[in-house]
Structure 1
Amino acid sequence: MKVLHVCALGATAETLLLPQIDYLRSQHLTVDIACSPDSAVDRLQAQGYTVHPIQIDRKISPLLNFKTIQGLIQLMRSQAYDLVHVHTPIAAVLGRIAAKLAGVPTIVYTSHGLPFHQLTPPLQYQMYFAIEYGCAKITNLILSQNHEDIETAAQKKLCPESKLVYLGNGVDIDRFSRSVLDSDHQSRLRDELGIPASAKLIVGTVGRLTRTKGSGYLIEAAAQLVEEFPQLHILVVGGELKSDPEPYYHQLSEKIEQLNLKSHVTFTGDRTDIPEMLGLMDIFVLATFAHEGLPRSILEAMAMSVPVVTTDIRGCREAVLPGQTGEIVPSQTSTPLANALRPLLADPDLRTAYGAAGRQRVEAEYDENVVFKRLFSFYQDLGIASAT
C-alpha cells in the first residue's frame, strides 16, 4: 500500500513526522512525503526518503494555493496513492482538496490543533470553521492530538462523530531522558552558548520564534523577577523561518533591550540537540496563545524531568497537571506567569517533584510508540494495512 504524507514544511516532516513515518515503513507500507522545498528536504532525500518538493504556502493566497493543488493532483495521480494523510492547517486543506480531485480512495487528517479556538476572532472563527466543515466532508478520518478538539468538533457538528478519533501525541522517551545527559558535555554546551557562569536558574522555551508562541510574555515576566532572582537567565531555543508570516526576532530583541535584560537572555537559534537544551533548564515555559494540538515541546520537557509552566490553551492544559507537573496561567499576560515562576525559582525541591511527576506522566500517557501503534490500527481499520 502507498501512503503520501502532506505538510507545509520539510522541517515539519523532519522533526515531527519522521518517527511515525519510520514506524509505518517498518510495517511494510510505502510512505512518501510532499512538502515545500527547503534544506530539510535535501537532508531527507539524502537519507533515502522519497520527498516530493511542492511549494505549499502557509497562508491563504488563491493563485498560489491553486498552483499547489494542481501540483499535488498531478503527483497523486501519477503515484496512485492508496491513502493521503495531511498535516498543518493550509497544507491539510489543499492536500485534501487535491486528494479528492485526484481520486485518492482514502483521506486522513491529523489535526495539530483545529484552527478555530477560544482566542480566534469571531469572523475568523466562522471562516475557519466553514473551511474545516467543508473539508471534513471529503475526509475519511480526522485524528485529534487532544480530547478537547474532539469534544468541540462533536459539539459544533463539524462532521459525523464516527470520523473523529483520538490519536494523541508522544515523544521518544529513551532519547528524551536525563540518562542521556553527560555533565561534562552540558558544561561545554553552556560555554558554547555563552551562558554566563552567574546564571544559576535557567528558564527556557523551545519552538519557532513567532509572536504567538508567547516568548515576549516570558521576557516581560523575567523583567519582573530578575531583581529578586539576579541569577535568572532565559534560554530561547529556536529560530525564524523565511516563510513565517510574522517575523519576531527583531521585535523580541528590542523588548529585551528596553527591559535591560540583554545579559540575562540567550538565543540559540535552531538546534537539533533538544534533549541537551532541555537538560540545561530548571523550568520550561511555553507561553503560547496559538492554536495548539498537544505541544510536543511540553511533552519533551516533562520527559526530561523539567517542570512546565504554560498557558490555559487547549492542548497545553491537557498535558500539564497544575500543582503536580507544573502550572497553568492565563495567556497573553506576563504577571501571572511571573507569579507562577516565582515559587518554582525559589524552591529546588518543588522543581524536582514537579519534574519527576512530569516524567512519570509522559511514560504513562505519551510514549510515542503507543501513538504509532494507535495510528497503525486506524490504518488497518481503513483497509490500508493488513491486520497482523
Structure 2
Amino acid sequence: MRLLHVYSGNLYGGIEVFLRTLARLAPSAPELTHEFALCFEGRLSQELREAGAVTHLLGAVKVSRPWTVWRARSVLAELLRRERYTAVVCHAAWPQALFGPVVRAAGVPLIFYQHDGLNGRHWLERWARVTEPALALSNSRFSAQSLANVYPRVPWKVRYLPVPLPELLPGPVERARVRAELGASEHQAVIIQACRMEEWKGHRLLLEALGRLRTLPGWALWVAGGVQRPQEARYLESLEALATELGIRERVRFLGQRTDVPQLLRAADIHCQPNLSAEPFGIAFIEALQAGLPVLTTAMGGPLEIVDDSCGRLVQPRPEPLAEVLREWVETPELRRKLGAGGPARAAALCEPGAFLRGLQEDLQELTAKGRAA
C-alpha cells in the first residue's frame, strides 16, 4: 500500500515530528510506503530526505495569491495522474482545504488526519468542509469530539501518534555531560519544557509558578524551543523580562531551537508544560514519559488521555497548584523517581509504533474494500 501525505512544511512542531517519524519507521513496515508532498522547503523536507523518503515539492503557496494555489494544485494533480496511490492523507485543515478537491477529482481515496480541535467557524475549516474525506483519523479522543463541527457524516477513528524510542539512549555519562554544559549541578532538580514558543503552551504560567519558589534552593529550568515567527520573538523577549522581574532569571536557561531534545529530557528531572488551552494530543508528553520523567501539566485536552497518577499530575491552569506540585517534586527526589518509573510503560501503551502501523494498515484495507464494494 502506498500513501501520499500532503502538508505545508514551513514550520516545525508536532505534525512535523509525526511525519518525520513515519519516514523513519518505513523500513520496519515495508508493506506501507510513505511519500510526502510539501509546499515549502525547510527543516521537515530536509529530515524527510535524510530518512530516505520520497518527497515531492508542490511549490510555495499563499492563499492571498490565488495563482500560487492554482500552481500547487496543478503540480499535485499531475503527480496523482503519474503515480498510483492507495490513498492521500491531508494533515490538518489547510492542506485539506487547498488540496482535498484535487485528490477527489483524481479519484483517489482521501483521508483527513485531524491534528487539532475544530469549531467549524474558522474560514479554513469552512473551506475544508466543502470536500468531505472518505475517512478521518483523529490524534486523540479530545480532537475527535470536535470533528462533527466540520465533518458530521464522515467515519472516523482515533489513532494516537507513534512515538518511537530514540535509537541511542544516553547513559549516565551523557547525562552528566549535558547537565555540566548547561550549568546544572548533580543535585539540582532540573525542570524542562520543550515545545514551540507559543503563548498557549504555558511558559509564562510556569515562570509565575517558579517565581513563587524563588527562595527554594535546588531547582533550575531549561526552556527548549526556538523562535519561528516574529510574534514568537516578541513572546520570548517578554518571557526573559518576566524571569528577571520574578527574580529567577539566573536559574532559567532559554536554549532556543534544539535537535537533541531526547538527550535534554534524559538529563532533566521533571517535565512541565502547563498549557493555557487544550492541547489536541502532545507528543512532548509521550517523549518525556519515555525518558522516565514525571509529567506535570494542566487538566485539559489530550493530556487527560496521557497523564495519570502512575506517571504524573494534572492541575488547574493557575500558578498556585503548579508551584505546590513543583515544590513537592523538587524536595522529594524519591517521589519524582517513582512517578518517572511509570512513564515508559504508559508511553508504550499509548504510542507504540508497531501498534500504530498495524492500525493504519487496517484502516487502509477497510477503505479500499469499501471502494471496491461501491
Scaled by the length of structure 1, the TM-score of the pair is 0.83
1:98 offset after TM fit, Å? 4.2
Task: State whether residues 96 and 112 of structure 2, in contact with CA within 8 Å, keep that contact through their aligned partners in structure 1.
Answer: yes
Which has the higher mean CA deviation after the structures are superposed, 16-25 or 79-88? 16-25
Query: SS of 2:3's equivalent?
Result: strand
Aligned to 2:90: 86
Deviations 1:291-350 (A, max 9, x none): 5221010011111111111112210111111x332111223x322211222222222222
1:54 offset after TM fit, Å? 4.3
1:146 offset after TM fit, Å? 1.0
Note closer, same or farther for the CA distance 1:67–1:27 as it changes in structure 2 (3 Å cut).
Answer: farther
Aligned mates of 2:254, 2:128 — CA distance in 1: 40
Is residue 189 from structure 1 mapped to residue 189 from structure 2 by the alignment? Answer: no
Aligned mates of 1:279, 1:349 — CA distance in 2: 17
Alignment partner of 2:274 out of 287, 292, 304:
287
Aligned to 2:134: 140
Note closer, same or farther for the CA distance 1:290–1:47 as it changes in structure 2 (3 Å cut).
Answer: same
Aligned to 2:252: 265
Amino acid at match of 1:210: E
Deviations 1:228-264 (A, max 9, x none): x222111111111137677521121111121122211
Aligned mates of 1:371, 1:28 — CA distance in 2: 12
Amino acid at match of 1:107: L
Matches within 5 A, 1:336-355: 336-355=321-340
Alignment partner of 2:341 out of 338, 356, 364:
356
Aligned to 1:242: 229
1:365 offset after TM fit, Å? 2.6
Deviations 1:38-63 (A, max 9, x none): 24424533554332334667xxx741
Is residue 159 from structure 1 mapped to residue 152 from structure 2 by the alignment? Answer: yes
Alignment partner of 1:205 out of 193, 198, 222:
193
Task: State whether residues 88 and 103 of structure 2, in contact with CA within 8 Å, keep that contact through their aligned partners in structure 1.
Answer: yes
Query: SS of 1:305's equivalent?
Result: coil
Matches within 5 A, 1:1-388: 2-9=2-9, 11=12, 15-23=17-25, 26-29=30-33, 31-45=35-49, 48-54=52-58, 62-64=63-65, 66-80=66-80, 82=85, 83-100=87-104, 102-116=105-119, 126-127=121-122, 131=126, 134-135=129-130, 137-153=131-147, 158-160=151-153, 163-173=155-165, 175=167, 180-193=169-182, 195-197=183-185, 200-227=188-215, 229-242=216-229, 247-321=234-308, 323-331=309-317, 333-383=318-368
Aligned mates of 1:217, 1:112 — CA distance in 2: 24
1:166 offset after TM fit, Å? 1.1
1:143 offset after TM fit, Å? 0.5
Q: Which runs of 5 or more residues in structure 1 are unaligned?
A: 117-124
Amino acid at match of 1:340: V
Task: State whether residues 283 and 308 of structure 1, in contact with CA within 8 Å, keep that contact through their aligned partners in structure 2.
Answer: yes
Amino acid at match of 2:74: Q
Query: SS of 2:132's equivalent?
Result: coil
Task: State whether residues 133 and 159 of structure 1, in contact with CA within 8 Å, keep that contact through their aligned partners in structure 2.
Answer: no
Task: State whether residues 5 and 86 of structure 1, in contact with CA within 8 Å, keep that contact through their aligned partners in structure 2.
Answer: yes
Note closer, same or farther for the CA distance 1:2–1:361 as it changes in structure 2 (3 Å cut).
Answer: closer
Amino acid at match of 1:142: A
Aligned mates of 2:94, 2:230 — CA distance in 1: 13
Scaled by the length of structure 2, the TM-score of the pair is 0.85
Identity between Structure 1 and Structure 2 (%): 21
Task: State whether residues 290 and 343 of structure 2, in contact with CA within 8 Å, keep that contact through their aligned partners in structure 1.
Answer: yes
Amino acid at match of 1:9: G
Note closer, same or farther for the CA distance 1:262–1:186 as it changes in structure 2 (3 Å cut).
Answer: same
1:277 offset after TM fit, Å? 0.8
